[in-house]
Chain A
Amino acid sequence: MPTVIAIVEDDPDQRENYSDVLKSHGYEVRTYADRPSAEAGFARELPNLALLDIMLGEDMDGGFDLCMQLRNMSPTLPIIFLTARDSDADRISSQRMTAWDYITKPVSLEFLVARVHALLKISDQLQSAPTASTTVSVGALELNEDSMLVRWKGQSVSLTLTEFWIIESLTRNPGHVRTYDALSDVTRQGLVERNTINGYIRRIRNKFRELDESFDRIQTVHGTGYKWEQGSA
């Protein structure tokens, strides 16, 4: 059974470009230009992964509405937001709707394919009950790379794919500094400004602090990058 990817994007050029590259990687692609057509399509056939733009023509938050519908239809469907909007408010909204990833334009198609690939793999893993063997523990932190699951002191932390990759990179060598360049590579978005990395770190910290106010494991090494402080535990 082919893997179906739904693309909802109002701009035909971008839509076709995504479609082309994904098709050439062997995926079945359904493209929709607006919310009504996408809703109709989803009703007919639930995709394996959805790639959503937030703004759909005049419909300012059309992508969010679609996301909510999809989530109702399937709790484990990987959803990627691919948008020009780069505000914290939008990111938080997407997170609340349990989107798996949030990528800002312009996106590198190469990395887009990589993300789609990764998310589908994780989705598969989730469906076939995660194996404990792939779980890595770093102090109070538990990471399961296959299912993108992160636990801090036993509590699950909801991270996007990019954020998961950053945490994964930081904790690979606790106590060692990850430079901005290294972290930029990890985000798989092409050239990433320091400020963007700072933004990711800030959001990750906030998520951990929601669970644990005294969370301070991610430390800034100004001018260089960040490191995961192992701590005494």
Chain B
Amino acid sequence: MNASVDRASAQNSRQATASRTSRPVRRGLKIRTKLLLLVSFLLVIPWMGYESVREMEKFLLEGQEQALELTTQGISSILGNRSDLFDPGVGVPELVGSSTGNPLKTLEEPLAIDAPAGVWAQAIGELSSFTGVGLYECGADYRPDLLAVRHAMALNADMLFAYFEIDDDRVVLRDPGLLSLDSNDQIRLTIQRGSGEVSRYLLTTQEPGRISVYLMKPNWREVVNGEALRDIVGTLEPGEGGYAVKIRIPREFLGTGARLKFEVVDVDDEASRAIRQIISTEPDPFRFEFGSVRLATPELAKLIQPLYVAEANITVWDAFFRVRAQVGSVFPPVREAFGRAPQKRSFLTQIEDRFLEFFEWILRSPQRGVKDMPVDSSREDRRLLSRVIAEGNSITERRRYGEAKLIVTASPIWAAGNMEGAVLVKQSANKLLSLQYRTLQRFTLLFLGVFIFLGIAILVFATRLTYRVGKLQRETEQAATPEGRLLKNRIRAGSRSSDELGSLTRSISALLQNLGQYTQYLEKLPDTLAHELHNPLNVVNSSLENLQYNHAELSEDKHLQRARNGVGRLRSIITSLTEAASLKEALTREQVQSETFDLALLVRNCVEGYQAAHPGYRIVPNFSEAPVLILGVPDRIAQMLDKLIDNAIQFGSENGLIIVNLRRDAEFIELSVLNDGPSLPDDIADRLFDPMVSSTKDARKTHLGLGLYIVRLVAESHRGTVRAENRRGSRGVEVTVALPVEIRRRG
């Protein structure tokens, strides 16, 4: 029985030692990190979203293309077989200007030729820019800052008004001393009348104010007639960085079906007076001499007017690449595109707007693309039209100008098997793009919200989980001492939770409870054992005594003596077993009996007693007379000292020296007992203060290993600690009890 108890206890301790040596901490990812990594997989969602939006964009663009193509074809079929609309004689093939310019504005009131340039600019409407770049190529040395022309024309009942703003770094007017007319800044006007007759007029002046107009020969150097003409009236007005020119031509003078071409000629060097640049309002001077005249056909315009398509520009061209009518613009109406009507916004939408601004910054806003949309794309239009006219088929193409996207379809107009012209419809795809952009924006916003929410939720969850696991771990670790003694038999943290962690907690609690019961059983075993042994021992004892009483002659019998000795030893074993078992219970009960007493005095008295009881040994107190006050139960301290001395004697050398020390520092009072016996065996050093652990090998010495266990129990009930170590320097073992200076009563 004894052996099995010993084995169980040894096993306990071994396990305890194992768990102490390998702390359950390993490197690696923690739960929280793992979950957050998992969340990061959600980042795939925006990529998916982006892809799907791209797909959607493609799909929508194709749809737009098809719709536009249908529209174009519809217009072309409406206009089909209406050769009257394209007949230059019929309708009002009036005028004038550039093929790319805006439709001519009709004025109610005539413009006074002497009115300031500002009045003209305001009245005449939007100006078209003509530079040396693009269609109006002037050569490699062209610089826009040296010469640029803005030009527009307008009509009233009798007159055609032409207005020019010319940027010129140096204005060189006609030198009165020179005969030639063309050695200065000038405007050349070419008119092809309906009859096909071509006239050239040169407009020049010596000073700001009225301009002289001369009819010129085709070389532009010689006049046909030296007389200045009076039909065409013009004025020159200097302005900032150049000058403005106002011209008035009677419509009568032009006749029906006339074509006009203006050329602005720039001379910069006053000495050489060489022509430096010529900018023409003629879009394609290499192909059509006078192709630039816009033959607006109001009936056509009326026909296509109801076909207005948002952000689309519809133009009808005749077979000679002349615009006959146009409706709409590819530019979005300003208000619609760039500003929302100010309205009361909720706080939330304001936040949303802030976000949207932020995203516009991150994502590329398609509204930027609008700025890239070219004002004039007639060259590309012409190229497309020439293909349509050549092939006789509808053609759709997509164009890109920087950020701007343009869908262009062109469809031929047939009349009795002849191609009369073509319809060209241009529509900005930026509206779609901005739709896509907005979708992307909302999606990103939504995703970001979801991501942040999920991230926070998982972070909170993981933190809570980690906290719970950590708490469980701490409590589990605290449930037992490093030596494997149970301190509590259940775990409180999270034991009510219904999840797996809760059930793990409950499992651990159940485990601890079972372990606690087993430990309790083991602890009670000596007591139960002792109790059960008392009765048979009493039988043996009383029988022996009866034997002796009845047979007086046997009282000196050696066997009887030995039997009595054996009974005596058995009895002391049982007594010490009971003592240890009942002590634990007694100690908790006796806490209230704590009193403050002088430990030094108690130890000294005890040592005197021990010295008297063990005259063979030298038991020496080795500390000063000064009182060492301590709060505790003096009887138990004395009992503890008993065991310390017993232990020192038992394991010390025969008739050796035992030294009792008492030290005090700020925190602890240390009571130590030193002997001169053999060193501690390594195998039990850790467990010396556990019950039933003893190093004795002497069969005749009764030692259950409960002495130091009692020492530990008493020390711990005083919140102290015990340790045993080999003496440094000399042979022997020192057992030390450290008691805190301040022992508070346990609540």
- For chain A, residues 76 to 98, give those with C-beta under 8 angstroms from any C-beta of chain B: 84-87
- With A191-B572, A222-B609, A223-B610 as contacts: A14 and B579 at CB distance below 8 Å: no
B residues less than 8 Å from A221 (CB atoms)? 605, 609
Q: How far is A195 from B612 in the complex, measured between Cα atoms in Å?
A: 18
- In contact, A11 and B609 (Cβ under 8 angstroms): no
B residues less than 8 Å from A224 (CB atoms)? 605-606, 608-609, 612
- In contact, B541 and A106 (Cβ under 8 angstroms): yes
- With A21-B549, A87-B582 as contacts: A222 and B602 at CB distance below 8 Å: yes
Q: What band does the interface of chain A fall in when counting residues whose beta carbon is under 8 Å from B?
A: 20 to 34
Closest to A17 in B: B542
Does A45 interact with chain B (Cβ within 8 Å)? no
Closest to A12 in B: B539
B residues less than 8 Å from A222 (CB atoms)? 602, 605-606, 609, 634, 638, 641
Closest to B576 in A: A193
Does A133 interact with chain B (Cβ within 8 Å)? no
| Contact digits for A1-25, partner B, Cβ 8 Å, 1 yes 0 no | 0000000000101100110110010
A residues less than 8 Å from B702 (CB atoms)? none
- In contact, B579 and A195 (Cβ under 8 angstroms): yes
Closest to B606 in A: A223
Does B571 interact with chain A (Cβ within 8 Å)? yes
- In contact, B579 and A109 (Cβ under 8 angstroms): no
- With A14-B535, A193-B579, A222-B605 as contacts: A106 and B642 at CB distance below 8 Å: no
| Contact digits for B560-575, partner A, Cβ 8 Å, 1 yes 0 no | 0000000110011001
B residues less than 8 Å from A109 (CB atoms)? 541-542, 545-546, 549
- With A86-B578, A108-B541, A191-B571 as contacts: A223 and B535 at CB distance below 8 Å: no
- With A14-B535, A223-B609 as contacts: A110 and B545 at CB distance below 8 Å: yes
Q: How far is A220 from B638 in the complex, measured between Cα atoms in Å?
A: 10
Q: How far is A21 from B548 in the complex, measured between Cα atoms in Å?
A: 11
Interface size, chain B (Cβ < 8 Å): 36
- In contact, B546 and A14 (Cβ under 8 angstroms): no
Given B538, B545, B612, which contacts A84 in the complex, CB threshold below 8 Å? B538
B residues less than 8 Å from A223 (CB atoms)? 602, 605-610, 638, 641-642
B residues less than 8 Å from A24 (CB atoms)? 549-550
Does B647 interact with chain A (Cβ within 8 Å)? no
- In contact, B638 and A106 (Cβ under 8 angstroms): no
Does B537 interact with chain A (Cβ within 8 Å)? yes
Q: How far is A220 from B608 in the complex, measured between Cα atoms in Å?
A: 14
- For chain B, residues 595 to 609, give those with C-beta under 8 angstroms from any C-beta of chain A: 602, 605-609
Does A107 interact with chain B (Cβ within 8 Å)? yes
Does B639 interact with chain A (Cβ within 8 Å)? yes
| Contact digits for A21-37, partner B, Cβ 8 Å, 1 yes 0 no | 10010000000000000
Closest to B589 in A: A88
A residues less than 8 Å from B550 (CB atoms)? 20, 24
B residues less than 8 Å from A104 (CB atoms)? 534
B residues less than 8 Å from A151 (CB atoms)? none
| Contact digits for B402-432, partner A, Cβ 8 Å, 1 yes 0 no | 0000000000000000000000000000000
- In contact, B608 and A108 (Cβ under 8 angstroms): no
- With A24-B549, A223-B610, A223-B641 as contacts: A106 and B605 at CB distance below 8 Å: no
| Contact digits for A170-213, partner B, Cβ 8 Å, 1 yes 0 no | 00000000000000000000010111101000100000000000
Q: How far is A220 from B535 in the complex, measured between Cα atoms in Å?
A: 33
Does A44 interact with chain B (Cβ within 8 Å)? no
- In contact, B635 and A13 (Cβ under 8 angstroms): no
Summed over the interface, the residue pairs from A and B with CB atoms below 8 Å come to a total of 98
Closest to A82 in B: B538
- With A21-B549, A191-B571, A222-B602 as contacts: A106 and B641 at CB distance below 8 Å: no
Does B543 interact with chain A (Cβ within 8 Å)? yes
Q: How far is A23 from B431 in the complex, measured between Cα atoms in Å?
A: 126
- In contact, A17 and B578 (Cβ under 8 angstroms): no
Q: How far is A16 from B462 in the complex, measured between Cα atoms in Å?
A: 75
Closest to A201 in B: B635
- With A86-B578, A106-B537 as contacts: A195 and B542 at CB distance below 8 Å: no
A residues less than 8 Å from B546 (CB atoms)? 17, 20-21, 109
Q: How far is A224 from B539 in the complex, measured between Cα atoms in Å?
A: 33
Closest to A10 in B: B535
Given A85, A193, A202, which contacts B575 in the complex, CB threshold below 8 Å? A193
| Contact digits for B608-636, partner A, Cβ 8 Å, 1 yes 0 no | 11101000000000000000000000110
A residues less than 8 Å from B609 (CB atoms)? 221-224
Q: How far is A199 from B641 in the complex, measured between Cα atoms in Å?
A: 17
Question: Which residue, B542, B546, B579, B634, has most C-beta atoms of chain A within 10 A?
Answer: B542
Closest to B537 in A: A106
Does B400 interact with chain A (Cβ within 8 Å)? no
Closest CB of chain A to B545's CB: distance in Å? 4
Q: How far is A13 from B543 in the complex, measured between Cα atoms in Å?
A: 8
B residues less than 8 Å from A14 (CB atoms)? 535, 538-539, 542
Does B531 interact with chain A (Cβ within 8 Å)? yes
Q: How far is A109 from B543 in the complex, measured between Cα atoms in Å?
A: 9
| Contact digits for A44-78, partner B, Cβ 8 Å, 1 yes 0 no | 00000000000000000000000000000000000
Given A11, A87, A195, which contacts B535 in the complex, CB threshold below 8 Å? A11
A residues less than 8 Å from B543 (CB atoms)? 13, 17
Closest to B583 in A: A195
Closest to A192 in B: B575
- With A21-B546, A223-B610, A224-B608 as contacts: A84 and B531 at CB distance below 8 Å: yes
Q: How far is A44 from B115 in the complex, measured between Cα atoms in Å?
A: 157
A residues less than 8 Å from B539 (CB atoms)? 11, 13-14, 17
Closest to B602 in A: A222
- With A24-B549, A195-B639 as contacts: A220 and B634 at CB distance below 8 Å: yes
Given B542, B578, B639, which contacts A107 in the complex, CB threshold below 8 Å? B542
- In contact, A18 and B542 (Cβ under 8 angstroms): yes
Closest CB of chain B to A167's CB: distance in Å? 18
- In contact, A202 and B635 (Cβ under 8 angstroms): yes
Closest CB of chain A to B501's CB: distance in Å? 43
- In contact, B608 and A106 (Cβ under 8 angstroms): no
- In contact, A194 and B542 (Cβ under 8 angstroms): no
- In contact, B545 and A191 (Cβ under 8 angstroms): no
Q: How far is A119 from B537 in the complex, measured between Cα atoms in Å?
A: 25
Given A17, A21, A105, A195, which contacts B537 in the complex, CB threshold below 8 Å? A105
Closest CB of chain B to A226's CB: distance in Å? 11
Question: Which residue, B541, B582, B610, has most C-beta atoms of chain A within 10 A?
Answer: B541
- With A84-B534, A220-B634, A222-B602 as contacts: A106 and B542 at CB distance below 8 Å: yes
- With A13-B543, A224-B605 as contacts: A194 and B538 at CB distance below 8 Å: no
Closest CB of chain B to A131's CB: distance in Å? 34
Closest CB of chain B to A203's CB: distance in Å? 12
- For chain B, residues 628 to 657, give those with C-beta under 8 angstroms from any C-beta of chain A: 634-635, 638-639, 641-642
B residues less than 8 Å from A85 (CB atoms)? 531
Question: Which residue, A11, A21, A105, A202, has most C-beta atoms of chain B within 10 A?
Answer: A105
Q: How far is A220 from B542 in the complex, measured between Cα atoms in Å?
A: 34
Closest to A111 in B: B545
Closest CB of chain A to B555's CB: distance in Å? 12
27 contacts between A and B (CB under 8 A): A13-B539, A14-B542, A17-B543, A21-B542, A21-B546, A21-B549, A24-B549, A86-B578, A87-B582, A105-B537, A105-B538, A107-B542, A109-B541, A193-B572, A193-B575, A194-B639, A195-B575, A195-B579, A196-B575, A220-B635, A221-B605, A221-B609, A223-B606, A223-B607, A223-B609, A223-B638, A224-B605
Q: With contacts A21-B545, A106-B541 known, what are 12 further pairs, Cβ within 8 A?
A: A11-B538, A17-B543, A20-B546, A20-B550, A24-B550, A84-B535, A105-B534, A106-B534, A106-B567, A107-B542, A194-B639, A222-B606
In the A-B complex, the 4 residue pairs with the closest CB atoms: A223-B609, A223-B606, A84-B534, A17-B542
